[in-house]
Structure 1
Amino acid sequence: MNPSVPDREAIVHTISATCPTCGSVELHAERLLLVECTVREWSYYTFRCPGCREDVRREAPSSTRRLLLRRGVEVEPWHVPAEALERREAGPLTADEVLDAVLQLRDPATDLVALACAARPGATRPAQRLEAFDRPEHPDVC
């Protein structure tokens, strides 16, 4: 191996991203997560800003997705069930339906994760994969 030629694996690429607070920031690929949705317009990437430590979420159009993939950013698939995309023929929610939902959500005995999982068997959701950024991991119970 020629010491004057850098090893391709040793070259670390940085990715420019924009934080709404700090402006332009430089990140390594492992500091970003690309969430690719089955509805392409809903795909996004996320990172924790190294300056202000805020979590940032940005839309990921196809050109951005291609760039992030080439740079080795981790991808998490997000499958939206077909039922969620169907047009609903039901009318708007009534005041009673909204009140019932609020009361159920306020009840400390309501297990919201179990309720959501029961409503959509087999549904998947993007995991909160920010443990590398000093956030405790929340296990997915579904």
Structure 2
Amino acid sequence: MTTIKASCPMCGDVELKPAQLRLVVCSRSEWSYYAFTCPTCSDEVRKPADEEIVALLVSGGVAAERWHVPAEVLEEKTGGAISYDDVLDFVLNLDRIDAEAHALFG
């Protein structure tokens, strides 16, 4: 069985089986990563995975999960951040809309 060496920031080098690793390959390559739970300290470790690391892990038997970033995430955002008052106004308007819909459709 294949053994994969990885590094935990707390424990140093650890040996893992392919099933102990999670490999997420993103449509934006800079967002790809691999993660594992350290067998020594039980901390979750997450590290970036470039194309070379992805190829090595896949060749070692790690199953790759594909993740496609929705286009909305990549859109340029303009305007200020949403404030607490904006959220409160939204919730109050939902109540008003619910009341109007109930009055119309009973």
Shorter-chain TM-score: which interval? 0.7 to 0.9
Structure number, greater radius of gyration? 2
Deviation at 1:21, TM superposition (A): 1.0
- Contact between 2:2 and 2:61, CA under 8 Å: does it hold in 1? no
Q: Which has the higher contact order (CA 8 A, sep 6+)?
A: 2
1:59 alignment counterpart: 48
Instruction: State the distance in 2 between where 1:28 and 1:92 align.
Output: 44
2:61 alignment counterpart: 72
Give 5+ residue unaligned stretches, structure 2. 92-106
1:110 alignment counterpart: none
Runs of 4+ in 1 over 6 A off after TM superposition: none
Deviations 1:95-140 (A, max 9, x none): 523xx37xx8xxxxxxxxxxxxxxxxxxxxxxxxxxxxxxxxxxxx
- CA RMSD, Structure 1 to Structure 2 (Å): 1.7
Instruction: State the distance in 2 between where 1:29 and 1:94 align.
Output: 44
Give 5+ residue unaligned stretches, structure 1. 1-11, 105-142
Query: Which structure has the highest helix share of the two?
Result: 2
Deviation at 1:94, TM superposition (A): 3.5
When the two structures are superposed, what TM-score results if normalisation uses the length of structure 1?
0.57
Query: Which structure has the highest strand share of the two?
Result: 2
Q: Give the letter for the 2:65 counterpart.
A: E
